[in-house]
Every structure is written in C-alpha cells, then in structure tokens.
Structure 1
Amino acid sequence: MHSPNPSLTEAKTRAAGGLVWRRGPSGPELVLIRRDRHGFDEWSLPKGKLDPGESYAEAALREVEEETGIRARLLRFAGIMQYLVQGESKLVCFWDMEALSDGKVQDNGEVAEVRWVTRDEALRLLSHAQNRDFLRHQPLPPL
C-alpha cells in the first residue's frame, strides 16, 4: 500500500483519518462525525493527530475507532489534505476503509454524533469546503 512521505512537507501538525464506508441499502455509505465546539456544529471526517512513534495508517485506524466506535480495515490510500489552522500548516493523510463494526458516539467530549450517509448527503453536510472537494474527487470504494 502506498504511504505518504511526511518529509515532503513542513507541516507543523500531522494527522490521519478515514473515509469509512459500508454497504448501505441504496449503495455505499460513509460515516461522518458532528463535533459541537463552542456552540458551533461542525460535520467532518473522522481524523486526529499522530501519537509519537505511530505511522499514519495506525493513527488513521486508531482515530476512527476512538471517534466513532467503528473498527475498520484499510482498503487503500485515499490522499492528502493540507491546510492552515490558525496560521499553522496541517497535513492529514486519509485512507479508504471498510467498516467491520457499527459505530456509536464515544464519551470522549469530542464527538456529538456519528452518522452514516450517502456520498451526496456527505457533500451537503460537510462543514468545510476542503473536505467537500476532497470527497468529491474520490472514487467510490471497492466494497
């Protein structure tokens, strides 16, 4: 499986996440999370920062399970998203994943809701344009 080379970037924050898919009644469904931060609802893909010594792929699987309760397996490397957060560069490596279990909100104070949606619903719900653009250019997974 192709993995990114983090030395190619000067990103201050390195993170990983998943496009977590399952077979739904009308085709592939993707999991989104809703964060409630300071009274602002934000729909996003599950992701988070790497722990020391952790690979991007390991972090992606861990973050997906921590934020959604979903155990998943990697399908393929999906790509890299890079953007600024408070003036600092953040790099996020994403993998397409297949869900091996159902999700539920974890009592960790980070996630308010976990929801399975179609790709079209995800494109309407995602709060940030870079997430919508990233998803729009992804092929559907080989489920």
Structure 2
Amino acid sequence: MIEMQEISAGGVVYRKSPEGLEIQLIRDRFGKISLAKGKMEPGETVEETALREIQEETGMIGRIVAPIDQISYTYTHSVHGETEKIVHYYVVEALEGDLQAQVEEINGVSWFAPQEAWLQQKQQGYDNNDSILRKALEYIQAEVDFS
C-alpha cells in the first residue's frame, strides 16, 4: 500500500548554440542518463520547482517554454516506505549560466546534439523518460531519427 506521495518537477533543457540546437542531459548518482529534476518545496509551484532544480543541479537559468507531461512511479522511501513519485516535466530554454554539476546530487551534466541526446537516452536512460525526451524533441522541432 502506498503511504505517501511526492511531487517533483524538472525539464528537458535546450539551447541554441553556434553548433546548433543542444539538449542537456545529466548523469545521475546511479550512473544513468537522466533529466534534471527534484522535489517540490513548500510554497512553490511545480514550474518554480522545475526551474530551481535545473539551476541547482546544472547551473543553468532557464525559462519554461511548454509543459511536456508527467510520469509517476513507486519507490521505497527510507522513512515513509512505499512512496508514489509524480514528476512534472517541462520544455525549458537555457537563458544563462555556467554548466556545472551539483556533485552532491548528480555525477555530471553535458550538452548533446539532439540525435546524440536521443541515443544516450535510449542506451543509458530510464525507460519512463523516453516519451518525455521524445515529446520535447518533437516540440522544439529537433531533427531526430527515433527509429
């Protein structure tokens, strides 16, 4: 039985660089490819949570362009037991900042060309993020072969 619910938010961060469109991916503390996200704090909206967590984890200040979707899954919390986690994801444009991983939370953060980002996600990411990244790439009209 699920004891608790936890709300998190994050985003698929992109930027337009001289090399073209780039997508930000993080490597989490388990060594998997993922997206910047984190827990909502009291008094925050999910949008504020997403932007704060992206800034804290990756050093980038962004703006929300569009909501993508939400995913939910259950995990065992060390104190509360079975916990349902709901994560709200947004398409976020990076405006400024220096890319810097929050080492307490994640192992690394990098920019990738859209096709490479998709391949990284498929090879080393969490399955439930496939649809999130795909929807974001489609929204920003990145040229990606999803096959």
| TM score, norm. by length of structure 2 | 0.78
Give the secondary structure class of the aligned counterpart of 1:51.
coil
Checking the alignment, whether the CA contact within 8 Å between 2:5 and 2:85 is kept in structure 1 is yes
Structure 1 gap segments, 5+ residues each: 1-9
Distance in 2, matches of 1:137 and 1:55, equals 22
SS at match of 2:106: coil
Provide the secondary structure at the position in 2 that maps to 1:100: strand
Mapped to 2, the partners of 1:52 and 1:34 lie a distance apart of 27
Residue 97 of structure 1 is matched in structure 2 by 92
2:65 to 59, 75, 91: 75
What's 1:132 paired with? 130
Q: Is the 8 A contact 1:12 1:88 kept in 2?
A: yes
Q: Which residue of 1 aligns with 2:56?
A: 66
The answer to whether the 8 Å contact 1:75/1:97 transfers is: yes
Q: Say if 2:105 is the partner of 1:106.
A: no
Cα shift readout 1:27-65 (whole Å, capped 9, x = no counterpart): 4211111123xxx41110000000011110000000000
Shift of 1:90: 1.1
Residue 81 of structure 1 aligns to which amino acid in structure 2?
I
Q: What is the number of residues matched between the two proteins?
A: 130
2:145 equivalent in structure 1: none
Q: Could you tell me whether the CA contact under 8 Å between 1:46 and 1:63 is conserved in 2?
A: yes
Is the 8 Å Cα contact of residues 68 and 132 (structure 2) preserved in structure 1? no
Percent identity, aligned pairs only, is 36
**Normalization by structure 1: what TM-score?**
0.80
Tell me, yes or no, if the aligned pair for 1:11 and 1:91 is still in contact at 8 Å: no
> Which residue of structure 1 aligns with residue 79 of structure 2?
none
